[in-house]
Amino acid sequence: MNKENLLLVIESKREELHHSALRFGMNSKEVLKCSEELDKLIITYQTLKTS
């Protein structure tokens, strides 16, 4: 996956996280899972950016 596509995926995951937090509350399992997925995407992007 290239950096531009990854940025689109990250933005989509951020929106999903926001909506999940509004729907389920900040401490829900759904929000935690989504947040962890977003963290992994961001780490992947940072790795690609420094390569």
Cα-Cα end-to-end distance for the chain: 14
8-state DSSP, 26: T
Encoded tokens for 6: 């990854």
Question: Is the distance from CB of 9 to CB of 1 less than 8 angstroms?
Answer: yes
**What is the pTM assigned to this prediction?**
0.92
Question: Is the distance from CB of 38 to CB of 14 less than 8 angstroms?
Answer: yes
Task: Express each pLDDT in 4-47 by its tens digit.
Answer: 999 999 999 999 999 999 999 999 999 999 999 999 999 999 99
Predicted confidence (pLDDT) at residue 51 exceeds the cutoff of 90: no
